[in-house]
A and B are shown apart, each in its own frame.
Chain A
Amino acid sequence: MTRSEATVTDGPEPTTGTPASTAAPAGDITATMAPDGSPWLLEVRGLTKRFPGVVANDNVDLTLATGEILGLLGENGAGKSTLVKMLFGIHQPDEGMMWLNGTEIRPAGPGDAISRGIGMVHQHFQLVPPLTVAENIVLGAEPRKRRLFDRRGAERRVREISERYGLEVEPSDVLGDLPVGIQQRVEILKALYREAQLLILDEPTAVLTPQETDELLAIMRDLAASGVGIIFITHKLREVLAVTDRVTVLRRGRSVGTVDTSSATTESLAELMVGRSVVLRVDKNEAEPGRVVLDVRDLEVRDDRRQTTVRGATFDVRAGEIVGVAGVEGNGQRELVEAITGIRPIHAGTVTIEGFTVHGHPRSVREHGVAYIPEDRERDGLVGDYSVADNLVLTEYHRRPFAGHGLRHPDAVDHLASELVERFDVRTPGIDVAVSTLSGGNKQKVIVARELSEDKHLVVASQPTRGVDVGSIEFIHNQLVAARDRGSAVLLVSAELDEIFGLADRIAVIYEGRIVAVCDPATVSREDVGLLMAGGQPSEPVAAG
């Protein structure tokens, strides 16, 4: 499917009949009608928001019917967040109009938006961990009895709503003790408690495990069936295809098209998002595994609470292959990676890299030819206040040519930084700006540039594309495959099964700190890997790779 950018941007609706955007002639300032003759639940026309130096939203149009799920797609910085922040009253639009059920609205703040029936589940949960579920839900609209806060009334009300919508929670549980998936239910209940007719979900699946994601998608379908309109913001095309009715795509602040989900494919959506065709399937040749580079034997590692979370993991990674570690988050992946890279002490067992026995000293591990792309790039991968250039030499700054005789050599640093920014396509205003000002995808490219610019024996990449836009994902994937083809052993840890299946030459499934199976991605099914990840056993034995 090919479509030029010009057609998409300037033409009328490219693919399918969504009458809304073609119905109203210019200059008309009344709301239009949905196909069934009633007003749209939400209509947005010509919405524009300018920030100093950028037009974050440029003449954006959007419609949403009652009981409909609309996907809002776009790369990082495409203006999705700005758009929903205007709907929720956090930002005020410079131009354009919004109608809710045919009535013009202009929310002055979150409180105003909530009172009109707009609910939002933020990407970073807006929940208070020490409070109970019920307290979190009713906060700001608390029931009272004899001038005191009516805790029982609140819990009763929360129970009613949670039963009505099938969102099971225990109102008296302390929120901070609950898993992320349940916390998200609380966020949704918060909106339903306030009788939201329109629910905005801002990247709700970014923090969820595959199982929790499936549960959330089912909940979204139920909510839509009960008449709630949902705007679903995400990067993940598979989820958009699974759950939405229509998709509106934003690119550089403009709405570049709305398509019916039934007629869309991952490729067509990705192309609409990026503005060029994107290869989602990673092109790679058959692996040519060589000698064993990383050898992990009976490894036991403890987490911060001194619980043993890696319990006797044994596996190896050979030169020239990518081994993908698949598992539900919290099954010891973090501790496994940190033990291999020397950050976390090894409790029992051994980790050997090219004959070097790791003994918990990160710099010595790195000096034996290990590159590391950490899971939490803001915390472990970058120093936010340092410049792009300084971040690019974070592992080498103390060596020649970047330093000598106790002094730094800024020219050498700048020289390398300029070259890497160019080679790894880091979109930055300059190498001197603080790295914290870059977008998520570009931050990750800085790390990838630092870690993969030189050949290493072993590359450890943990969640390398989390929260990264589609264009950057493609780039990072290609870099990992290129490292493999140059003879590095690559250990890839990811919560995304798509990523594991797309990149790995062997899949190691981790469950409760053990490698429960090593499979060949060519022969094993997604379902079987999912089953192994959940601690089950597939009916047929899985072929070891």
Chain B
Amino acid sequence: MTTTSTSVETGAETTARRRQALVRNRNGIVLGVMVVVLSVVAYQWDGVQTTAVTARTVREASPLILAALCGLIGERSGVVNIGIEGQMLLGAYSGFMAASYSGSLLVGVVAAVAASALAGLFLGWAAVALRMDQIIAGTVINIVGAGVTSFFYVAGRTMPRFPQWSVPGLSDLPLVGRTLFAHGPLTYVAALMVLVVHIALFHTRWGLRTRAVGEHPGAADTVGVRIERLRYVNLTLAGSLAGMAGLALIQSAGAFDRGMTAGRGFIALAVMIFGRWRPTGVLGAALLFGLFNAVQAQLQFKQALDIPPQFFGMIPFLLTIAVLAVAGVKARPPAAAGRPYDPE
């Protein structure tokens, strides 16, 4: 136990706090530095392929970041959301159809966000008002999402493409330029959301209350925090993030396709766990998953080795299993996640 200091927090204490954060994240930091060094070395060796892989890493990570943040906000408020897959499909489908019929990207974005926010609201209603088992509620969303979007799928439609936003000057830099500064809008949104959710979660009233509700709702209840309202609001907001994740998929693919999420809603949960329920951790974990995805895509594309491409395609899923098996052992989810709150 530390001793009680009588002074206001000094600069030294702030430094100590930062140092603690560094120690806590040392594995991630070491891994990150290794990847950066490797990329630079690889760039010397084959600049074109390396840039292709790193740029793809960021592109593949974007939907995972948004989807994992959706799961994170839910679990931090005490509600497990395994319906992210379904929310993403609903968002992507609605966005695509709306943009396709209206011809306006903006209409598509609004429709996507609204559709998956609505699915989030449903999860809130099931978890809060009905006190339904949250796994069942999430499964309902997944089945509805997959079923509805497949059934009403119209082949052959197109929609306006998302623009590519290149940051003038920066995007021409070697390696980093194409990697970080030449993407569609949703990739920037994903990066921005990491920052927004981090600040909201750890530096606002809302965040403190959310974390309290996810760990010990009874404690929050006895100091007057309105748990039910907070969960409704958070799940709806989180749902809109899943909608953006769906849009990020369309941004890459150019159009909606049946089952285009291909399990990313579940991989997002692995990302959230690997990221230890922290937005910055989610960013790192999503980039790692994105990197593996990008590498396997590049290997398939090059036909470098005489191995059927399906084997490379398995890599992200194998990695998911490995992450859950290794990180899952030590993972400590928010204590109240998955449990309906009963005030009595």
Contacts and interface: CB of A to CB of B under 8 A. Distances in A.
A115 to B, nearest CB: 8
A131 interface: yes
B219 A128 contact: yes
Contacts of A127: 216, 219
B212 interface: yes
Contact of A140 (B1, B9, B203, B224): B224
B205 interface: yes
A119 B215 CA distance: 22
A152 B8 contact: yes
A172 B14 CA distance: 11
B205 A126 contact: no
Contact of B223 (A140, A162, A168, A173): A140
Interface of A: 109-111, 114, 120, 122, 124-131, 135-136, 138-142, 144, 147-149, 151-152, 155-156, 159, 162-163, 168-170, 172-173, 177-179, 182, 190
Given A110-B223, A128-B219, A140-B220, A170 B3 contact: yes
A153 to B, nearest CB: 10
Contacts, number: 93
Contacts of A178: 1
8 contacts: A109-B224, A128-B220, A130-B211, A140-B224, A142-B208, A144-B205, A170-B3, A190-B223
Interface in B1-17: 1-6, 8-9, 13, 17
A415 to B, nearest CB: 36
B223 A129 contact: no
A129 B336 CA distance: 12
Contacts of B207: 149
Contacts of A122: 222
Given A139-B208, A139-B212, 16 more contacts: A110-B222, A124-B218, A127-B216, A128-B212, A129-B335, A136-B219, A139-B219, A149-B205, A149-B207, A149-B208, A168-B4, A170-B1, A170-B2, A170-B4, A172-B9, A190-B223
B221 interface: yes
Contacts of A142: 205, 208
Contacts of B176: none
B225 interface: yes
Contacts of B209: 139-140
Most B Cβ at <10 Å: residue of A110, A114, A156, A177: A110
A149 B207 CA distance: 9
A478 B199 CA distance: 60
Most A Cβ at <10 Å: residue of B2, B5, B222: B222
Nearest to B224: A111
Contact of B216 (A128, A141, A152, A155): A128
Contacts of A179: 1
A33 B172 CA distance: 82
Contacts of A162: 4
A131 B1 contact: no
B303 interface: no
B344 to A, nearest CB: 9
Nearest to A148: B203
A126 B212 CA distance: 10
